[in-house]
Structure 1
Amino acid sequence: MVKLNGISDNPGSTKNRMRVGRGIGSGKGKTAGRGVKGQKARTGVAIKGFEGGQMPLHRRLPKRGFWNPFSTDYNEVNLGRIQQAVEAGKLDASAPVTLEALLAAGVISKAGDGVKILGNGEITAKLTFEVAAASKSAIAAIEKAGGSVRLLAAAEA
């Protein structure tokens, strides 16, 4: 009958870990398998990107791209989202739809460089928009619903 206190691994299936740096007679003393001297013989060394003196990959590849520091980052809002806000009572249909009104209604989360209205979705409310930009399809849909769009100049926005 097998008892729990009589169960063990097969002989030779496990090995004790090698304790390094415990004297020259242990076979892994002195340098503890790290070779001699230098940065990698020390602890906590990870030389990321170093390729033994060969030019590293990240320096061999050409630079690409350009970031324009004067670019504008508009908040894009679809007409369907604005119609939802009007129906929920978060946007006042009589007041003009501005960046501040959309922020207060929770339609957008941060101001950015202004608002661009996009034409995705249906709009039935007669609204006046005062925004930085709008797509052609959005302007057509707003005017079809009886509203108007006034584009703010870059200096005003």
Structure 2
Amino acid sequence: MSDLPAPLAEIVDDFTALSESDRATLLIEFADELPALPAHLEPAAMEPVPECQSPIFLSVDASDPTAVRLFFSAPREAPTTRGFAAILHQGLDGQPAGVIAAVPADFGYDLGLASVVSPLRLRGLAGMLARIKAAIARAG
């Protein structure tokens, strides 16, 4: 976990300190913490993440490489997807581009959710991270 920024490492620690059933509960709690989109962003103008089973959209503002801003839109009816988006938001929003680029693609497995959610759902989390990294690379 040395490649994780402190806020994301803390989230991973929170998950791994819990039992499997409590991890699932924490994931759902994260879903409730996903911030609303700012007024200037519309989901239709955001990048879709087709790797996710639920419709999710993201926007990456890497105009300031020292503090990348992340925005997500995910339906309330998709708490797992919203939870993953909230984890990425809380763990990576405001971090430098280079720090985000160094996050391992498979960090989602460090959350200890492999036995709680399907591999397809974890692939969705990896897809969100990959799209964030690609947007940062395009901006750089």
How does the TM-score come out when normalised to structure 2? 0.27
Higher normalized helix content (fraction of residues): 2
Q: Determine which structure has greater relative contact order: mean sequence separation of CA pairs < 8 Å that are 6+ residues apart, divided by chain length.
A: 2
